[in-house]
Amino acid sequence: MLDPTRIKAISLDLDDTLWPIWPTIERAEQALHDWLGDNAPMTAALFSSPSALREIRDYMASNKPELKHDLSAVRRESIRLALYRAGENPLLAEKAFDVFFAERQRVDLFEDARPALEYLSRRFPLVSVSNGNADLERVGIAQYFRAAISAREFGVGKPDPRIFHAAAGAVDMTPEDVLHVGDDATLDALGALNAGMQAAWMNRADHLWPHELEPHVTLTNLTELCALLK
């Protein structure tokens, strides 16, 4: 059971915890495809092929394993490889990625997210912990957070305990002082448990819990968390 008296700080996942990620990615990929259509049409055609995309992703995974925690670099280098294979200018990769990245930051927050962030940030230091590449400033919610820890900058991602420990340290807490909130049962909830934190599983879609070790609390939205911490 959740013990609110132990909570001195809260760490939060971003994608699918504060906003739905796939509508965002789909818009960003469409913006990228439209830009390529105007500036690199052969590459745009290549990106329209699921098998070609799969092959590029497989190539990146096997030949650039050092980039696995940096989704921005993986995306940028995938675009560069596609440009090269299509016989077009690989130097266009930077501009193409900028188009994708700008749209990737245009998220639609869940209805409960901003009111909850306003409430929680008045009571606790908040720190984001993400394996993704959202930018809190560009998303428009940086004012609620004391710190942001990303797998890209830290070098390891969730569920590695070290990234959770880094999040606790970023707000001058021990892991035992921190409640982690996230949607992924393995990366977020189980990862936080194994790091010594309390864990709140954000289960907006009514999934079944897949592990033997259970989270301290299961939520369907952040409003429920605010109510528990009143």
Of 3.30.160.270, 3.40.50.1000, 1.10.1740.10, 3.40.50.9100, the CATH number of 4-19+109-228 is 3.40.50.1000
Give the per-residue pLDDT at 39.
98
Please determine whether the domains at 4-19+109-228 and 22-104 fall in the same fold group of CATH.
Answer: no
Q: Give tens-digit pLDDT for 75-123.
A: 999 999 999 999 999 999 999 999 999 999 999 999 999 999 999 999 9
When pLDDT is cut at 50, 70 and 90, the band that residue 13 belongs to is: very high
User: 14: left (phi > 0), else alpha (psi -120 to 50), else beta?
Assistant: alpha
pTM: 0.92
Domain borders along the chain are 4-19+109-228, 22-104
Q: What is the pLDDT of residue 47?
A: 84
- Which CATH number does 22-104 carry? 1.20.120.1600
**How high does pLDDT run on average in the chain?**
96
What is the Cα–Cα distance from 56 to 77, expressed in whole angstroms? 10
